[in-house]
Amino acid sequence: MGKKLVVVGGVAAGPKAAARARRCDPEMEIVIYQMEDEISYAGCGLPYYVSGVITERQKLISRTAGQFAQDGIKVLKHREIENIDVRNRTVTGRDLHTGEGFTDRYDRLVLATGAEAIRPKIEGLDLANVFYLRSIFDADAFLERIRSEVVQNVVIAGGGFIGLDMAESLVQLGKEVTIVEMTPQILTLFDEDLASVLRQYLAKKGIQVFTSEAIAALKGDKGKVTHVRTVSKEVEADAVLMSLGVRPRVELAKKAGLRIGETGAIWVNEKMETSAEGIYAAGDCAETFHLVTGKKTWVPLGSTANKQGRVVGTNVCGGNAVFPGVMGTTVFKVFDFHVAKTGLNIKEAQREGFSPIQAIVRGYDRAHYYPGGKESILKVIADKETGRILGGQAIGEGPSDKFIDILAMALHGKMTCRELANVDLAYAPPFSPAMSPVIVAANVLTNKLEGKVNDIAAAEVKRKLDTGEDTFQVLDVRERDEVEAKRIPGSLWIPYADLKKRIGQIDRKKEIAVHCESGLRSYKACLKLQREGFEHVRNVDGGLLCWCYDVESGG
């Protein structure tokens, strides 16, 4: 009898493992058990299907059961695997249509059970028009209802990636959208400054965002949701999308006695093998290593699931493939903003024992004189002790994905900011400034390592202004037209060109936070002030690019 591979789960990692195994071993018997009616579909494409950008549902299906059958891979849909007998190498389950039980044997077993939506224990979750978005069938149900004119006000519970993706989709469908997030900021994997930039952008698109607002209950009338009650308010809602995150589906693995990792996902080694010989796990149900911290982590992403599936497919056929880990590299789009991240944010770096420093620069996509330019705000984070790049974030209409992909490669190579500053990146005026924004950020970090200028974050500036510290002042060194458009209340304005002749207007006894639009002119102003004997000078990271607080107009 030939070897048999059984795959449990048929969305991303499972089908990838099966397809790879078939290429590695043309004779192996391969069976995929899938609970749903569809297999191998693009879960990440669901928001675009809802919005209408993806007009044909079938385009979300990568391969049908029939196409797998052409390669000799049997797909058994509407089957739930309920138990694994590790010793005898069998699985048992039931047909979801008939209720009949079945048993199957395996030589190699792949668990690709994915993740499930977090469902909080609150009143009203069983009301009509309360939705989740984990499967293509969730999208079908949501789309059918949301296109009704009866549904106008939609509340999204959660300000993470899926919630933000869906906010755009719903606005494009003409809905009034409110995001309710229990933490102090949306986009919690990013630093507060860039998350605040996105929040301001969403407000301009007509999306209300309430933070620090945990949902207490969903209220309804005649069986349908009508309001979302938070800790401090009630928000009208014709429909609610619950997008509070996901957790790995590990119940089957637990019942089989497989080891569950510290992240709550299935423990696997670098070959994606579980604690039981011959059983592998991949995708959103499995944990992995973080390449920056070296610790176990859980990052549920479709790109990761497919890479892990390929490794598993190789190894179930006797191969020796390794999945080294992830850095949480991700990107998504909200209207015209491209939002991307890799590696650690500032708080994560601090928790891991690093001493993080940051550079925030304008991320232009072409030379300043070439028409049609767009820009993103780019943040790069490094360790103050070693100069090693720890992470990066980018947000805006510019090439955020390009910047973050460059930084992801730098993280893989464990590069320092000094090394990154001399990387040979492609340049031509239609594609990049002569000095790539990534290289500019690396140079800023190098200057900080060398102690040329001290920095201060916009949030700290705001805190000091709010507490009314009489030993603190903000110096604005921009030009008149910039200041007339907006300025920080209470700031002292002296254009950079006039700084030397008006230096007597600055109180030497106070701590001075110097800012411009993005940080370059203020950096030069800090150097000039230091040469004039000023001791307490700090450059505001990112300048007004990351100032998401009150402003006033007038010079």
C-alpha 190/C-alpha 526 separation (Å) is: 28
> Which residues, at least 6 apart from 528, have a Cβ–Cβ distance to it below 8 Å?
499, 500
Give CA–CA dist 343/381, Å, rounded: 9
Q: Choosing from 44, 417, 516, 548, which is the catalytic residue?
A: 44
How wide is the angle at C-alpha 38 spanned by C-alphas 37 and 40, nearest 5°? 150
Q: At 100, give phi and psi (nearest 5°).
A: -70, 140
Rg of the chain over all Cα atoms, to the nearest angstrom: 27
Overall residue count recorded for the chain in this entry:
555
Contact 219, 229 (CB under 8 A): yes
DSSP one-letter code for 552: B
Whole-number Å distance between alpha carbons of 53 and 49: 6
Q: Which strand (E) or helix (H) includes residue 550?
A: none
Closest to 210 measured CA to CA, from 189, 236, 174: 236
- Contacting residues for 312 by C-beta, under 8 A, at least 6 apart: 13, 17, 20, 110, 272, 280, 282
CA dihedral for 423, 428, 433, 434, sign (positive or negative): positive
Please indicate whether residue 526 is annotated as part of the active site.
Answer: no
pLDDT of 555 reads 62
Write the CA distances from 420 to 271, 301, 408, integer angstroms: 31, 27, 12
What are the DSSP calls for 78-113, one per residue? SEEEEEEETTTTEEEEEETTT--EEEEE-SEEEE--
Instruction: Report how far residue 551's alpha carbon sits from residue 553's, in angstroms, rounded to the nearest whole number.
Output: 7
Q: What pLDDT is recorded for position 1?
A: 55
What pLDDT is recorded for position 443? 97
* β-pair type (330-334, 337-343): antiparallel
pLDDT tens digit sequence for 187-239: 999 999 999 999 999 999 999 999 999 999 999 999 999 999 999 999 999 99
* Residue 542 neighbours by CB distance under 10 Å: 27
Tell me how many degrees the CA angle 481-482-483 measures, rounded to the nearest 5.
Answer: 95
| Cα-based distances in Å from 108 to 13, 70, 80, 239, 263 | 15, 22, 18, 44, 25
What whole-number distance in Å separates Cα of residue 346 and Cα of residue 360? Answer: 13
- Contact (Cβ atoms closer than 8 angstroms) between residue 548 and residue 459: no
Which of 261, 49, 38 has the alpha carbon at shortest distance from 162? Answer: 49
Closest-CA residue to 334 (of 490, 481, 203, 245):
203
Beta bridge partners of 229: 217, 234
Q: What is the four-CA torsion angle of 265, 268, 271, 276, rounded to 10 degrees?
A: -130
CA-to-CA distance for 284 and 162, rounded, in angstroms?
Answer: 15
Q: Which residues contact 65 (CB under 8 A, 6 or more apart)?
A: 39, 75, 77
- Please give the structure tokens belonging to residue 124: 């009203």
Any idea which residue has 């020796």 for tokens? Answer: 320
Q: How far apart are CA 450 and CA 190, in angstroms?
A: 27
154: which strand partners? 177, 239
pLDDT in tens, the chain (555 residues): 579 999 999 999 999 999 999 999 999 999 999 999 999 999 999 999 999 999 999 999 999 999 999 999 999 999 999 999 999 999 999 999 999 999 999 999 999 999 999 999 999 999 999 999 999 999 999 999 988 888 999 999 999 999 999 999 999 999 999 999 999 999 999 999 999 999 999 999 999 999 999 999 999 999 999 999 999 999 999 999 999 999 999 999 999 999 999 999 999 999 999 999 999 999 999 999 999 999 999 999 999 999 999 999 999 999 999 999 999 999 999 999 999 999 999 999 999 999 999 999 999 999 999 999 999 999 999 999 999 999 999 999 999 999 999 999 999 999 999 999 999 999 999 999 999 999 999 999 999 999 999 999 999 999 999 987 789 999 999 999 999 999 999 999 999 999 999 999 999 999 999 999 999 999 999 999 999 999 999 999 999 999 999 999 876
Question: Are residues 331 and 400 in contact, defined by beta-carbon separation less than 8 angstroms?
Answer: yes
N-to-C CA span, the chain: 85
- Side chain identity, residue 59: K
Q: What is the pLDDT of residues 313-345, one digit of tens each?
A: 999 999 999 999 999 999 999 999 999 999 999
